[in-house]
């Protein structure tokens, strides 16, 4: 769930908002009806390291793509019939 709050209220309730963020919620802070900031939970280092390792393992399972193939993929949508 995302909590939307004005700057003045965010100042007043910062510690409560941080508790909500720690519980996994996002907080969007608005000024003049426009979003200016988002508070989101930080990922811990171990989670990031595990995710990077999972991506590396998945990449190792697939063949490498050549630069020529990348250009072909890119240009495929540009061709006119």
pTM: 0.54
Residues 6+ apart with CB under 8 A from 26: 1, 2, 3, 38, 39, 40
2-39 classified as CATH 3.40.1620: yes
Boundaries of CATH 3.40.1620 in the chain? 2-39
In percent, how much of the chain has pLDDT > 90?
54
Proportion of the chain above pLDDT 70, given as a percent: 96
Query: Whole-number mean pLDDT of the chain?
Result: 89
């Amino acid at each position: 769930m995302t909590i939307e709050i004005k700057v003045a209220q965010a100042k007043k309730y910062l510690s409560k908002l941080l508790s909500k963020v720690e519980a996994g919620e996002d907080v969007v802070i608005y000024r003049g009806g426009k979003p200016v900031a988002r508070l989101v939970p930080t990922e811990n280092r171990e989670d990031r390291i595990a995710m990077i390792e999972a991506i590396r393992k998945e990449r190792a399972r697939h063949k490498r793509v050549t630069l020529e193939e990348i250009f072909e993929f890119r240009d495929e949508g540009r061709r006119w019939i």
